[in-house]
């Protein structure tokens, strides 16, 4: 599990993640952490498990996807989803440099994109 400020992540079986989610909802508020289902995303790695995920989490109000999602400034998901997000990040990053194109800013942006892309493995 990963914690950063008010964000958290869990990895495991659907049953294990459901158990974690219920525990987090029940005990999180005691520690000032109030999970919001509308801001929660379940990324299912194996698309054949989508129906099971939808059944298990049907009353939780969370988003479920088998494509991917941007999480804490990075991307997890299918190769095509990651590629789409990296391209979107790159186009947005360089859009603002058209008038003030400086090597320092350009290389910083390109380096950030390269590192993010290199670290993203499924």
For 11-40, what is each residue's pLDDT tens digit? 899 999 999 999 989 998 888 888 889 989
For 62-120, what is each residue's pLDDT tens digit? 999 999 888 766 788 888 888 888 777 766 665 555 555 554 444 445 555 454 444 45
Place of tokens 């379940």: 42
With cut-offs at 50, 70 and 90, classify the pLDDT of residue 1: very low
CA 68 to CA 25: how far, in whole Å? 23
């Amino acid at each position: 599990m990963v914690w950063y400020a008010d964000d958290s992540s869990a990895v495991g079986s659907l049953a294990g993640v459901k158990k974690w989610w219920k525990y987090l909802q029940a005990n999180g508020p005691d520690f000032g952490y109030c999970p919001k289902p509308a801001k929660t995303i379940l990324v299912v790695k194996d698309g054949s498990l989508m129906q099971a995920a939808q059944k298990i989490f049907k009353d939780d109000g969370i988003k479920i996807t088998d494509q991917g999602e941007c999480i804490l400034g990075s991307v997890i998901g299918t190769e095509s989803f990651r590629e789409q997000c990296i391209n979107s990040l790159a186009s947005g990053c360089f859009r603002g440099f058209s008038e003030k194109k400086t090597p320092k800013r350009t290389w910083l942006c390109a380096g950030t994109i390269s590192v993010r892309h290199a670290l993203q493995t499924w």
